[in-house]
Amino acid sequence: MRSVVPTFIPARQGRLALPFVNRVYIKTYGCQMNERDSEAVAAMLRGRGYRIVNSEDDCDIMLLNTCSVRDAAEQKAIGKAGYLTKRKKKNPDFILGVLGCMAQNRGAELLERLPDLDLIVGTQKFHQVPGYLDNLRAAREAGVPIGETIIDIAEEAGSQNAIRDHLVDEAGNAPQVSAFVSIQQGCNMDCAFCIVPKTRGDERSRPIDEIVRECEQLAGRGTREITLLGQIVTSYGRRDYVHEGGISPFVQLLERINAIDGIKRIRFTSPHPRGFKQDLVEAYGRLPKLCEYVHLPLQSGSNRILKAMNRPYSRERYKELVDALLAVRPDMYFSTDVIVGFPGETEEDFAQTRELFEACNYDMAYVFKYSIRTGTPAATLGDQIPEEVKEARNQALLEILQKNSLRRTATLVGKTEEVLVEGIDKSGERFTGRTRGNRVAIFEASPRLVGQLVPLKIERASVSSLYGELVLAE
């Protein structure tokens, strides 16, 4: 095994003018936060003189930005990295790095499975990646053999402020119509099943003025929709800013972004039910740019299981939130997260989850089978649920979800919905966009409409997509 550099190697400053090994491909696993982190790393690398390529076959440097929420996600990334080590044997100059949550969770332990890794960088060190790659490239250019793996998984104060760069299209194509903006990282909730506090650290928020400035810059480049990101996005600024007139720091931020010229829509993810106070509920009625779409994680509909999960709300409180949001916006769309098969979940517990799942009439949901994550409180609990039981419960909720989604999309047929045109769809023949309710729409359009809000008459619908025709102005 190669030796390990335990914390970090000081990065060389400045822009290297190396003619080779500067093509980078970043493969991202997991959530929208990971997507945003990858984009920021790509922007920093491009600013340092690297080329970001769209195919792993064309790259000299491969970075895997990983997820640790479920064991299957880690194993998928490990399998991919193992496959790529074969490429390193054929081409010693090929650079392979693992970033993100799995790097943070496993650290040097990864080298037991993947001894040929060049780089292991945790969730608070993304901004160090360009410097570390400069070091590796410089060593190769000088003909110095690389015998050490760079490992940096240390905590760093202020690291939440490093995820601010966006990848600007240099080819003159359409602007980034919809953009993610990271406002908060880390989590202090300590849910029994979740490894995020370990991989992302304690809760940390960015300054409100910096976030607003980033959104203004995006608006100036043609971005029309902002999605605010955080591990618990509704906890934004609670340690840094005071409530003003009963308005939380998070809602204060929503107000500031709502006032930005050019921004037409605001979304956010992922919140916690505990963060939905009256000021946030009312914001859906008074902030016109805040889309009538809420991701409201449930996890379980059983009070007994919610307590075991360390989720500080009841099924009754959760339903009150849904009803309160519907009272403000009757056309609200809801999505959620649910875990089935948590240790000790009985048939009665699951029946309560199924009942509440049906009552909330979700338009979309992420339904997960419980996965043991070493280092979490739930990992040591007895009464683990058999895999076949988890699967049956998973399928039962997915069947309900499909019926709900079909019923909701069917009500839209014949109606006209506002759609933000994002670009050409995967077929390359039509255009795609999203409604305010976050439904994908497919239609024929002109390239000049990219970035515009257009009226679309819905002609037919599937479980998750709408198909229609633009309503032309007279």
User: Is residue 252 within a helix (H) or strand (E), and if so which, with residue range?
Assistant: helix 249-258
Beta bridge partners of 453: 420
Q: How far apart are CA 231 and CA 19, in angstroms?
A: 39
Residue 145 pLDDT level (bands cut at 50, 70, 90):
low
CA 238 → CA 191, 253, 303, distances in Å?
19, 12, 27
- % of the chain at pLDDT higher than 90: 83
Mean pLDDT, range 119-141, rounded to an integer: 92
**Mean pLDDT, to the nearest integer, of 385-412?**
96
> Is the pTM here over 0.85, yes or no?
yes
The domains of the chain, with CATH numbers, are: 3-152 (3.40.50.12160), 416-470 (2.40.50.140)
Arithmetic mean of pLDDT over the chain: 91
For residue 189, pLDDT over 80 is answered with yes
**Cβ contacts of 167 within 8 Å, gap of 6 or more:** 39, 42, 43, 46, 52, 176
What's the pLDDT score for residue 67? 95
Whether the per-residue pLDDT at 14 is higher than 70: the answer is no
Average pLDDT rounded to a whole number, residues 360-371: 95
Span 34-50, pLDDT tens digits:
999 999 999 999 999 99
pLDDT at 146: 61
Residue 15 in this model has a pLDDT that exceeds 60: no
Q: In sequence order, which residues have a C-beta less than 8 Å from that of residue 446 and are 6 or more positions away?
A: none
Q: Is the pLDDT of residue 147 over 70?
A: no
Q: What was the pLDDT predicted at 248?
A: 96
| pLDDT for the residue numbered 11 | 38
Mean pLDDT of 264-278: 96
Angstrom distance (rounded) from CA 220 to CA 246: 32
User: For the residues 449-473, what does the mean pLDDT come to?
Assistant: 93
Among 7-21, 147-161, 281-295, 394-408, the range scoring the smallest mean pLDDT is: 7-21
